A = this chain, B = another copy of it.
Amino acid sequence: MEFYPPSLVRLIKHLSRLPGIGEKTATRLALHILRSRHEEAKGLSQSILEVKDKVRLCSKCFGLADTDPCSLCVNPNRDHSILCVVEQPSDLVAVEKTGAFKGLYHVLHGVLSPMNGIGPNDLKIKELAARVAQGEIQELILATNTNVEGESTASYLNELLKAYPVRVTRIASGVPMGSDLKYLDDVTIKRAMERRQDLKFG
């Protein structure tokens, strides 16, 4: 790397700080940028600044947005009485992509994790309670991940929200669609057996 010109070395260093990009990949990317058209490189450079400049958190759902409130929160075609609670903006996008949910979201920006010193005050939990307290919301779907921290965050929220007259649900856990039981872990199969559902014929 140190045999390239200083300005190229600086770009390689910056690129190699990105996650999953080592020095070799960074060098390849930097050489590509060097060879690319000027407008292309300028576009990339500007879009980086623009993202830092424009993207903010929606003050209602705390999703990523260029506007505040975000386009989802002001959309009259969405069901404003049902709220899906997720850990991260990327989880919001994962649910939204399915097209199966027509309500609004609430992004916690993390999970409770005493090991890492993350408590309720580090997440958007106060803000969630405040939204629920306004009374418009009738159902709250807890869609945190199904690992230990996600599960305990869901339990914590369930306890907290008992005080409000709102239906609290948790996304179903069980065997993922299209999977093979013999390759699945014990905990998932156990959970799928416990939460088995009646099949009704008629």
A15 to chain B, nearest CB (A): 7
A199 at the interface (CB under 8 A from B): no
Asked if A51 contacts B33 (CB within 8 A), the reply is: yes
Contact of A4 among B29, B33, B64 (CB under 8 A): B64
Beyond A14-B47, A20-B25, is A55–B8 a contact (Cβ under 8 Å)?
yes
Say yes or no: A55 contacts B28, CB within 8 Å: no
What are the residues of chain B within 8 A of A6 when measuring CB–CB? 66
* Residues B66 and A3 in contact, CB atoms below 8 Å apart: no
Task: Say how far A192's CB is from chain B's closest CB, in angstroms.
Answer: 28
Interface size class of A (residues with CB under 8 A): 35 or more
Contact A93 B41 (CB under 8 A): no
| Cβ–Cβ contact B45 & A5, under 8 A | no
Is the pair A5, B65 in contact by a Cβ cutoff of 8 Å? yes
User: So how many copies of this chain end up in the complex?
Assistant: 2
How distant is the Cα of A7 from the Cα of B38 in the complex, in angstroms? 20
Write out, one digit per residue, whether chain A residues 28-52 have a CB within 8 A of any chain B CB (1) or not (0): 1111111000101111111111111
Q: Which of B4, B30, B32, B43 contacts A14 (CB 8 A)?
A: B43
Chain A residues 1 to 20 lying within 8 A of chain B, measured CB to CB, are 1, 3-8, 10-11, 14-15, 17-20
Contact across chains for A5 and B49 when beta carbons are under 8 A apart: no
Let me know if B93 and A7 touch, CB within 8 A. Answer: no
Among residues of B, the one whose C-beta sits closest to the C-beta of A71 is: B5
| Chain B residues with CB below 8 A from A50, complex form | 7, 10-11
A-B contact pairs, 9 of them (CB 8 A): A4-B93, A5-B70, A7-B51, A7-B66, A10-B51, A11-B51, A30-B51, A33-B48, A41-B49
Minimum-distance CB pairs A-B, first 7: A5-B66, A11-B47, A45-B48, A7-B54, A14-B44, A3-B93, A3-B96
Name A's B-contacting residues (CB within 8 A). 1, 3-8, 10-11, 14-15, 17-21, 25, 27-34, 38, 40-55, 64-67, 70, 89-90, 92-93, 96-97
